[in-house]
Amino acid sequence: MTGTDLPTRNRSTVRSLLRLWPYVRPVRARLAWAAFVAVLASCLSLVIPLVLKWIVDGPVAERDPGGVWLGALYLLLLGLAEAGLFGLRRWLVARPLAGVEAAMRDDLYRHLQRLPVAFHDRWPSGQLLSRGTTDLMLLRMFLAFPLTFLLVNAVTILVGFVILLQQQWSLGLVLLAPVVPLVALCFVFESKYALVARRSQDQVGDLTTVVEESVLGIRVIKGFGRHRSQAQAFRELSLTLRGTELAKARLLAGIWATITALPELAVGAALVLGTVQVADGDLSAGTLVAFLSTALALRWPVESIGFLLAISQDAATATERYFEVMDAPQETEGGTTPPSAPAAGDRDGMVFDGVEFRYPDAPEGAPPVLSRVDLHVRPGETMALVGATGSGKTTLTALVPRLHEVTGGRITLDGRDITAMARERLRELVSVAFEEPTLFSASVGENVLMGAGGGAGRADLERALDTAQAGFVHRLPEGTDTQVGEQGLSLSGGQRQRLALARAVVGGPRFLVLDDPLSALDVHTEALVEAALRRVLADTTALVVAHRPSTVLLADRVALLSGGRITAVGTHQELLHSSEEYAWLMSGAGDSGTAGEKGDTV
């Protein structure tokens, strides 16, 4: 999913922005006070022309220097009061709006953790990242400035025109003339700018995705000498974004020029008419000065309309993009009461009963990845799962911890349907290690203990490292406290895989699901890991995806997955004699290596 395939829907700007209310509500009182202070400060600026009228018609006309200095003092005090009130407004909104942004970012992050794997398969990480950074920054800007000043400027314009009409109603009507065309212009601008704003923010997400992929895949890019093609792809996206931003700039320039020109023409016409009235004695000079000063004081509230509408549209688009993610349904939860441990005689291990699975975005009518899978892994037994690339091995193992939901049949652990368990409880029972090990920007120890749910100590960490033959960590600069860096790229593939295996076994899980956990190890390390792993597997019920005969020999029995179904189950020796496909796979003639098809991808 990219910015180009996210359709822009007709939507109300106000309706979109109202979705922010749950986050704004806790700080509404402070924002209301900030708006009141800003209105007060803005209205103070309209008092200045009245003071000027008094100075011109009073002390100036009467040649009273003392009165002029007194008037200047009033103007100074009004200016200082206005500046102080605007400073107070800024102080009132700074802390609460930072809290609103933090709350929205926290909610987004928590929600992303609860979304199903199928969602993350569809959404580029850059699109999600831009929603948690750029979009939230736009929302904070909207809440800090346009939200307040759309109200402030509206009140200021209303009060200002009341003052103008009271001073000289005929001149006031001249200044009101551009109102109708300005309203029509703003309506057209809003509809056009909304489309361009959405396109721009989606393209920022696409660009973020390219940058992230290039950084994480820098070894591949350098290894294949693809830096020029990557740079060209980045440049094309940048130019596309540049064109969209220029389209936004043209729209802004057009409305800004028009909003500026029409009021200026009206002010010019009022100046000519007012000058004629002063010459005829129908209007005092002080009234004309006050009138024009008031009109000029209203310039910024009027001219800023386009700018404020643009930010509001950006914020509405950002809100829409934010809630596109927040509205995505979370993983369906199972039962909420942790089941009590069954008696030894009640345990029946891991059972796949008529399990079927089809990817949510699979074309209609496409065959399921898994069809009527029946398999029983007995308590304390290690079952090896063997099959050709694309047969669905990794998908089947991902169903056990409910990374994907079965679309037919059921899976039970010790007689309990996994869909009836709370996910937290299920993932306490089941520990996993994937073929592609993922490490986080944390210490070695923190990465391994992540598999223990917070209940393991130093002894458990050392035992897990020993099982995974990961003693190399003690030779790192800071031992288990060494930071492994983003994605663990400072370590070799085999080292990352051993740490992932240690993470899987550190908590002593009742059920263990391993997806070809030894594929990146050399034969000597593999033999040592297998010897240590046998001790762990003796106390757990395990399903192990295997590609090599050496890994298969860890298992008590072997299941052959072919065409999305279990076609044979038996010991390694039994299947070598009874299944031609199994013998072919074990001979190395079959391509049973790293999964590359969607049917074998989590």
pLDDT for 538 beyond 90? no
Strand order in the sheet with 408-413: 370-377, 350-357, 408-413, 416-417
Mean pLDDT computed over 363-374 = 86
pLDDT for 599 beyond 60? no
Partners of residue 542 on adjacent β-strands: 382, 512
**Better-predicted residue by pLDDT, 418 or 229:** 418
Mean pLDDT computed over 220-246 = 83
Yes or no: is domain 14-201+243-326 CATH 1.20.1560.10? yes
Q: pLDDT by residue (tens digit) across 281-303?
A: 777 777 778 778 888 778 788 87
Confidence label for 561 from pLDDT (cuts 50, 70 and 90) = very high
pLDDT at 90: 84
pLDDT for 602 beyond 60? no
pLDDT for 456 beyond 80? no
**pTM confidence score:** 0.73
pLDDT at 486: 67
pLDDT at 412: 92
pLDDT for 276 beyond 70? yes
Torsion over CA of 503, 507, 508 and 510, rounded to 10 degrees?
Answer: -100
Mean pLDDT computed over 87-112 = 88
pLDDT at 334: 57
Mean pLDDT computed over 219-242 = 82
pLDDT for 337 beyond 70? no
The identity of residue 62, as a single letter, is E
Q: pLDDT by residue (tens digit) across 7-55?
A: 444 557 888 888 999 999 998 888 889 888 888 888 888 888 777 778 8
Break the chain into its structural domains and give their ranges: 14-201+243-326, 346-600
| DSSP assignment string, 15-40 | HHHHTTHHHHGGGHHHHHHHHHHHHH
Confidence label for 595 from pLDDT (cuts 50, 70 and 90) = very low
**What distance in Å separates the CA atoms of residue 229 and residue 185, rounded to the nearest whole number?**
44
Q: pLDDT by residue (tens digit) across 150-209?
A: 888 888 888 888 887 877 777 778 877 787 787 788 778 877 888 888 888 888 888 888
**What distance in Å separates the CA atoms of residue 379 and residue 541, rounded to the nearest whole number?**
6
The identity of residue 215, as a single letter, is V
Of 469, 489, 471, the C-alpha closest to 480 is 471
pLDDT at 351: 93
| Tokens 């179904």, located at residue | 565
What's the mean per-residue pLDDT of the chain? Answer: 81
pLDDT at 566: 92
The rounded percent of the chain whose pLDDT value lies above 90 is: 12
pLDDT for 103 beyond 80? yes
Which is the CATH superfamily of the domain at 346-600? P-loop containing nucleotide triphosphate hydrolases (3.40.50.300)
Confidence label for 325 from pLDDT (cuts 50, 70 and 90) = very high
**Better-predicted residue by pLDDT, 262 or 486:** 262
Confidence label for 559 from pLDDT (cuts 50, 70 and 90) = very high
